[in-house]
Amino acid sequence: MGFLEKVLQLDDVIGQLECAEHLEELQSVIEWLRDHYAVDDMVYHWVSSNGTQYGCGTYDPAWVQRYLEKGYLRIDPVVLGCYQRFHPVDWKRLDWSGKAARAFLNDAVAHGVGNQGYSIPIRGPNGQFALFTVSHSCDDAEWESFTEIHRRDLILLAHYFNQTALKLEPGRTPEPTQPLSPREVETMTLLAVGYSRAQVAETLSISEHTLRVYIESARFKLGAMNTTHAVARAIARGQIVV
Amino acid sequence: MIRYVYGDQLAKFPHLARTMFEDRADQFRTRLGWDVSVDAEGQERDDYDDLNPLYVIWETASGVHGGSMRFLPTTGRTMVNDHFVNLTHGVPFQSPLIWECTRFCLSRNTEAGTAAALMLAGGEIMQGFGIRHFVGVFDARMVRIYTRIGAAPEVLGSQGEGRQAISVGLWEFSEAAQKQVSRVAGVPLAASRSWFDAAFGTDVPQPFISAA
């Protein structure tokens, strides 16, 4: 790496994800994120209603091939446990008791899939369904501490991957960027000029609790991972002028 | 006990589901006089019931519906964004970390502590799934009940008069509130957690590879 070359930050990579125009870009983003979070694997997996699958991720290609050949989609407890749901799932909480599920698990482990996993289901428009998964090999305590720290980041990432994947779907007209409401514009503008949260709340005559919800919602609309990033995105997109 | 049931799982609890939709008709049409759809069987349903929401239901000792509420993530269609942005200062809430809570309903005949048990379950969802905020649509008279049980929402706004008054409010998780609500509900935190685990699975210690 050159001396002056910019070290990529999480925010830059999320920006790349949003602007991606090809699936290969999603692949390089997910590899970067896998390394960033220091986990064995990270996978985005879209299952359409007619059963076609599509995605990107870091599993061994031999395992992906095997998964498709064996039709594991119909057996995989992660897919079965997440389909039609909208809450995140730790693999430990799924039902692995059936014979087919156990055989599947053994095959997965034999192909290097970790013993721990956390999967986030995503409900897109018109019945679209996708899953975002991180998996790793470690003990329970380490995994619990990892998911406790990162689960909200992962939930946001899951949705950002899905938004880009929807945009790249052939024949689909991209959805316009979600505009911020006037109140959100005020909120982000005041944060951008350096007001503290307490000052913003006071200026807008709302509680800090309400302000937290505004910021949470604006953060998602701006495709950001944190408030600082959200402010930068709002400026870059021209949604606020400072 | 509390049950957590997605819409497509209601068929597994036919009695509970039927009495929930009947109690909703009783609360929202008969008692509050709201303009809601009640079918020939006397059950109240709306468009959001078709979106496979997550219902949180208090099942009474006799096995019927005692109270319930309904959750949807704000990344999809929600009642608050479709109908009540005038009460949120024009801000449509949208985030996988903000869920909407609607159709909070209490049966006429339910046990004391039902409302608190439901709020306790809301806390389990926030803790269990990493949800930061709930935005609720509820009949304005509920504010008194929420406050009494120690789970007062931040009310953003209200519209309508008397029984027809509707409010939009926000909740976030607090350890202290969760303990207080547990006391009022008469439900120990461990029991509440065990109901959550019964619905969403218990942590099985790893490596589960030994299951082979």
Give the three-class secondary structure for A134.
strand
Cβ–Cβ contact A151 with B under 8 A:
yes
The predicted model scores a pTM of: 0.95
Contact across the interface for B133 and A87, Cβ inside 8 Å: no
Between CA B32 and CA A35 the distance in angstroms is: 55
Between CA A121 and CA A138 the distance in angstroms is: 23
Question: What are the φ/ψ torsions at residue A35 (nearest 5 degrees)?
Answer: -70, -40
- B192-208 per-position pLDDT tens digit: 999 999 999 987 766 54
Q: B132 lies in a domain? A: yes
- Give the residue-averaged pLDDT of A205-215: 96
Taking 50 as the threshold, does the pLDDT of residue B209 lie above it? no
Cβ–Cβ contact B127 with A under 8 A:
no
Distance from CA of B53 to the nearest CA of A (A): 9
Q: In 3D, which of A160, A133, A148, A138 has the Cα closest to residue A229? A: A160
Contact across the interface for B96 and A84, Cβ inside 8 Å: no
Which part of chain A is CATH 1.10.10.10?
182-236
Cβ–Cβ contact B128 with A under 8 A:
yes
- B135-183 per-position pLDDT tens digit: 999 998 899 999 999 999 999 999 999 889 999 999 999 999 999 999 9
DSSP chain B: -EEEEEGGGGGGSHHHHHHHHHHHIIIIIIIT-----B-TTS-B--GGGGG-PEEEEEEPTTSSEEEEEEEEETTS--HHHHH-GGGTTT-----TTEEEEEEEEE-TTPPTTHHHHHHHHHHHHHHHHT--EEEEEEETTHHHHHHHTT---EEEEEESSGGG-EEEEEEE--HHHHHHHHHHHT--HHHHHHHHHHHH-PPPPSPGGGG-
Helix A182-192 / helix A197-204 crossing angle, nearest 10 deg: 140
CATH code where residue B47 lies: 3.40.630.30
Which part of chain A is CATH 3.30.450.80?
10-168
Query: Which 8-state DSSP code applies to residue A101?
Result: H
Which residues of chain B from 53 to 72 reach within 8 Å of chain A, CB to CB?
54, 72
The residue range of the domain holding B113 is: 2-199
- A26-37 per-position pLDDT tens digit: 999 999 999 999
Residue type, A51: G
Between CA B10 and CA A177 the distance in angstroms is: 36
A116 forms beta bridges with A136
Contact across the interface for A115 and B209, Cβ inside 8 Å: yes
Between CA B139 and CA B158 the distance in angstroms is: 9
Cβ–Cβ contact B11 with A under 8 A:
no
Between CA A15 and CA B128 the distance in angstroms is: 29
Cβ–Cβ contact B210 with A under 8 A:
no
A chain contacts of residue B211, beta-carbon cutoff 8 Å: 96, 102, 105
Query: Which 8-state DSSP code applies to residue A241?
Result: -
Taking 70 as the threshold, does the pLDDT of residue A174 lie above it? no
| Residue among B92, B94, B211 whose CB faces A96 most closely | B211
Contact across the interface for B212 and A209, Cβ inside 8 Å: no
Contact across the interface for B91 and A214, Cβ inside 8 Å: yes
- Give the residue-averaged pLDDT of B21-31: 97
Domain A182-236 grouped into CATH 2.120.10.30: no
B172 forms beta bridges with B133
Cβ–Cβ contact A84 with B under 8 A:
yes
Contact across the interface for B204 and A156, Cβ inside 8 Å: no
Give residue B103's pLDDT band: very low, low, confident or very high (50, 70, 90). very high
Domain A10-168 grouped into CATH 3.30.530.20: no
Give the three-class secondary structure for A41.
strand
Q: What angle do CA A125, B86, A199 make, to 5 degrees?
A: 100
Type and span of the H or E element at A212:
helix A208-221
Task: Record the tokens describing residue A223, joined without a space.
Answer: 């495709």
CB-CB contact of A56 with A68 (8 Å): no
Question: What are the φ/ψ torsions at residue B103 (nearest 5 degrees)?
Answer: 55, 40
Distances (CA, A) of A218 to A22, A164, A240, B12: 27, 18, 12, 38
Taking 70 as the threshold, does the pLDDT of residue A232 lie above it? yes
> In this predicted structure, what is the pLDDT of residue B212?
33
Distance from CA of A87 to the nearest CA of B (A): 6
Q: Go through chain B and tell me how many residues it has.
A: 212
Q: In 3D, which of B91, B43, B65 has the Cα closest to residue A210? A: B91
On average, the pLDDT of chain B sits at 94
Q: B20 lies in a domain? A: yes
Question: Is A90 exposed, middle or buried, given 0-12, 13-18 or 19+ CB atoms closer than 10 A?
Answer: buried
Beta strands in A85-219 (DSSP E): 89-90, 116-123, 129-136
Taking 70 as the threshold, does the pLDDT of residue A175 lie above it? no
If one counts the domains in chain B, the total is 1
